[in-house]
Amino acid sequence: MKDFRSGLQLLLVMLVVSVIASAAEPAKLKFKFTTVKVPKATRTFIYGINNSGTMVGAYVDKSGTQHGFMLASGTVTTLDDPNGTQTTCSGINSAGAIVGFYFNSNIVLQAFEYQGGTFTDIGPAGASLSQAFGINDQGETTGAFVDAKGSHGFLWTGKKYKTLDAPGAVGTEAVGINNKNKVTVIWYDSSYVVHSSLYHASKYKSIDVPGATDTFAGGVNTAGDVVYSWLDSNNISHGALLHKGKVQTFDDPKGTQTNGNGVNDESVVVGSFVNQKGLAEGFSATY
């Protein structure tokens, strides 16, 4: 009887531990994919999405020219900065403000913000080139620039620029920003391996995808979910999502080379993949 009771107590303890572990472990996410293509485009890339579901990105036409665009309620609006060519729209906030970059007349990358029908160049003073990637609902913008000292990330508050350099990095880019001022950062070490960090309150926290050879963090939503692109040992790109403290990987089932780029507060991620013809198409996926 004593042995039976001890065995039963042990079984109960194991069951309790199992229940606690199960409760602590987030459920495996299921991603439902929808392909997004700009009509008549040869390639489509989706980079950002806001909470109303409006997407931004870039597409390539039949002549090989790249254009920025916004996709809202099924309608595509081409957005080309009038000061240059090859526009890319990277991020959009709830007010419809869009950020991105283009090549100016000197074939140099230039960051911009678009709102109310007007394109405005942005970027830190002294930058030889700049790109804008993310914008939150307060209008704070993230991006990257190059100056005489190297490659850096930036945070633009609308009044001043803050330079972001990850510790130990030889180059840094600030990518996504949420409404709690958390910023995703990608950076390169001395071996040019790409890492990702979450920047907040002057601190950098590593958020690399486990097992990845290179990790590229993208957008971050208010809940702190981070979407990624990452490379495996065969140099194949996959998507991933940091959700409730756990990284879960995903691939668009219609192709290969999945890239996760943007995420909103409605549990939607966006990005691109390569179809069976070897051409890029966009996707959105709920989770």
Q: Write the DSSP assignment of 263-274 as a string of letters.
A: E-TTSEEEEEEE
Check residue 27 and give its pLDDT: 77
Q: How many CB atoms lie within 10 A of CB 40?
A: 9
Check residue 26 and give its pLDDT: 60
Check residue 162 and give its pLDDT: 98
Structure tokens at 161: 């620029």
Single pTM value for the model: 0.90
Structure tokens at 229: 């692109």
Structure tokens at 232: 């495996």
Query: CA angle, corner 265, sides to 120 and 215, nearest 5?
Result: 75
Percent of the chain with pLDDT over 90: 90
Whole-angstrom Cα distance, residue 64 to residue 2? 80
Residue 6 has pLDDT above 60, yes or no: no
Dihedral-angle region of residue 198 (phi above 0 means left; psi in -120 to 50 means alpha; beta otherwise): beta
Q: What is the mean pLDDT of residues 97-115?
A: 98
At 129-184, the pLDDT tens digits run 999 999 999 999 999 999 999 999 999 999 999 999 999 999 999 999 999 999 99
**DSSP letter string over 39-100?**
TT-SEEEEEEE-TT--EEEEEE-TTS-EEEEEEETTEEEEE--TTSEEEEEEEE-TT--EEE
Reduced to 3 states, what is the DSSP secondary structure of residue 21? helix
Residue 23 has pLDDT above 60, yes or no: no
Which residues on adjacent β-strands are paired with residue 92?
Answer: 98
Structure tokens at 185: 């950062």
Residue 12 has pLDDT above 50, yes or no: no
Reduced to 3 states, what is the DSSP secondary structure of residue 137? coil
**Domains of the chain: residue spans and CATH:** 30-286 (2.120.10.30)
At 175-230, the pLDDT tens digits run 999 999 999 999 999 999 999 999 999 999 999 999 999 999 999 999 999 999 99
Q: How far is CA 256 from CA 72, 207, 233, 274, 276, in A?
A: 26, 24, 15, 5, 8
Whether residue 274 contacts residue 266, with contact meaning beta carbons closer than 8 Å, is answered with: no
Residues 6+ apart with CB under 8 A from 240: 209, 227, 228, 229, 230, 247, 248, 249, 250, 260
Reduced to 3 states, what is the DSSP secondary structure of residue 183? strand
Point out the least confidently predicted range of 8-17, 96-105, 114-123, 136-145: 8-17
